[in-house]
Amino acid sequence: MISFIIPAYNEEEYLPHCINSIRETCANIEEPYEIIVVNNCSTDKTAQIALSLNCKVFFQAERGIAKTRNLGAKNALGDKIIFIDADSILNIKILQTSLSKLKQEKVCVSSITSFAEYPGALTRLVWFYNLLSRIFSLGVGQYIAIKKEAFEKVNGFDDNYYAFEEIDLLRRLKKQYGRQSVEVLWIPVESSNRKFTKESNNDILKFITQLIAAINGRPVGKNKSELSFWYKDESNEQKTQEGFEKKSKIKNALKSDATKNVWEKSNPATIFIATLLFFDVLFDLLNIEFSQSINGVVIFIIFAAAVTTSINFSQINNEKERNQQNTKILQKLFLLGALLLLVEAVGQKTGLPFGQYTYNYEMREFGLFGVPLFIPLAWLFIILSAKSFFSDKFNAAILIILIDLILEKFAEIKQLWIWNNPTVFTAPVLNYLSWFVISVIGLGFLQNIKLNVKSTQKTLILLLAYFAIILGMRMQIQFVSAVLLFTMLSIKLKNHDR
């Protein structure tokens, strides 16, 4: 049996559509179901509407999404529970796929986000967030299907959470049953974008920063007074007091050594790269231009330094063995770099496997076979840096594609290369698919190479900051993607330092 649980706070406008979508969808399956609506302090006709539509109705006296969902689960009769928001619409594809996954090895399945109506910029942000959801198995609170046994095993949602409770739940499920037990399906569940149209830009920005913090394991969802995106009607006095306390803590933290330890004792090569990037931004601001051949040499030096600082070369005392091991590392890097150069050369001539594109003529002066020499070095470093963040090749390859999405627009601005038939973020879809496959192969080829993890991660974060600055000065939407990726990887690096 399936128990659909709908938490509801003043949802008289949206609730009927959600309930009707559940009934219409379940008409196509044979499994019995029940619909439970948990009324969470509504002041409108939410409860009456739910009763009139033959739903089971329970009342949660205290505002809080985690407590509301837990009350519904406590009274559920089904062995499978599906939490769905009142402003969401169920579809047959997500339901059938979820049930199939739960019958197999999965204990929890979630969806990606889709809004009925939203502007173009938000479309790209949602698409970017959905990709991140796939990488980190985040899931979204608007739709979560879970085995009741597993839900009870981890004690359900943490009652102390007022938002981001689903991220905490999925994290505990993966810890209990293994990462592969939770899956985020690439199937959207349509929801309302009302909060993104009603709330101020400050609230939306605050929501994004809190989301990033929650993804990285911080319990930001426990402080109700800071969750104005959901609880705007809470006491201003409480918000002011708690806000003051939080600012004091942040101020003290900034004074402490804890926030400095991520970047202290940086590798000299990392500092060298940061210096070159700084001057490039400065020259860009001053409209000082150099020839593309000089730019090609500078980029080559940057990525050569980045690759060099990424590798953890052998330091054993036996000179012969040390030289043998380091020679093998260099041979692997050279071989993969040569293969990447060859693939680029073939792509330049034939359009396969990436699509039709042309490198800047001056850039090719510092290159081989019509390919600038910094290209294979850039891809070597990006592969190594993704490897430093993720041991899983699939997740690392997705990170590489996210970086490429940003890099393609940067390349267009800097006139490094030009696509003949751009379709997604200035490049054809075939380009990203091909690089995904090549990335997986490259990651497998370099899997035994040891990295200076911190130096590699810091260098990638520096490059993302550089891309964000350049894109931001040109008012490109990819600027937001670069900032999000930069922030998430920075927090991940900082958390690893603890």
Nearest to 191 by CA among 141, 152, 241: 141
Whether 30 has a pLDDT exceeding 60, the answer reads yes
- Shared domain for 63 and 151, answered yes or no, is yes
304: left (phi over 0), alpha (psi -120 to 50) or beta: alpha
Q: Which of 200, 234, 254 is the last residue of a domain?
A: 200
- Shared domain for 409 and 296, answered yes or no, is yes
| Backbone angles phi and psi of 38, in degrees to 5 | -105, 110
Q: What is the DSSP letter of 115?
A: E
Whether 97 has a pLDDT exceeding 50, the answer reads yes
Burial of 68 (0-12, 13-18, 19+ CB in 10 A): buried
Q: How many helices (H) and strands (E) does the chain have?
A: 18, 12
- Shared domain for 354 and 486, answered yes or no, is yes
For the chain, the domain total comes to: 2
Q: Which of 172, 200, 228 is the last residue of a domain?
A: 200
Judge whether 163 lies within some domain.
yes
Average pLDDT (297-312) is 81
Under 8 Å between Cβ of 377 and 309 = no
pLDDT, position 100: 94
Q: What is the DSSP letter of 192?
A: -
Whether 404 has a pLDDT exceeding 50, the answer reads yes
- Shared domain for 181 and 290, answered yes or no, is no
Judge whether 19 lies within some domain.
yes
- Say which CATH number the domain at 140 has: 3.90.550.10
As given in the structure block, the two tokens for residue 188 are: 């959207």
In the chain, the percentage of residues whose pLDDT exceeds 90 is 29
d(CA 214, CA 184): 17
Q: Which of 153, 171, 200 is the last residue of a domain?
A: 200
pLDDT, position 236: 45
- Shared domain for 191 and 338, answered yes or no, is no
- Shared domain for 273 and 362, answered yes or no, is yes
Under 8 Å between Cβ of 276 and 466 = no
Judge whether 227 lies within some domain.
no
In tens, the pLDDT along 248-293 reads 554 454 444 433 443 444 556 677 677 777 777 777 666 666 666 6
- Shared domain for 81 and 177, answered yes or no, is yes
Nearest to 135 by CA among 425, 492, 438, 497: 492
pLDDT, position 265: 47
pLDDT, position 360: 74
Strands 108-115 and 182-191 turn out to be parallel
Domain limits at 491? 268-496
DSSP 95-145: HHHHHHHHHTT-SEEEEEEEESS--HHHHHHHHHHHHHHHHHT--BTTEEE
- Shared domain for 447 and 304, answered yes or no, is yes
- Shared domain for 196 and 301, answered yes or no, is no
Judge whether 342 lies within some domain.
yes
- Shared domain for 187 and 294, answered yes or no, is no
Q: How far apart are the first and last CA of the chain?
A: 44
d(CA 441, CA 455): 23
Judge whether 219 lies within some domain.
no
Mean pLDDT score across all residues of the chain: 79
> Looking up tokens 């569940």, which residue turns up?
189
- Shared domain for 196 and 302, answered yes or no, is no
Judge whether 376 lies within some domain.
yes
Judge whether 288 lies within some domain.
yes
d(CA 221, CA 191): 21
Rounded to the nearest 10°, the torsion over CA 41, 43, 46, 52 is 110
- Shared domain for 166 and 275, answered yes or no, is no
Judge whether 240 lies within some domain.
no
Residue bearing the bigger pLDDT, 378 or 327: 378
Burial of 381 (0-12, 13-18, 19+ CB in 10 A): buried
Question: pTM for the full model?
Answer: 0.53
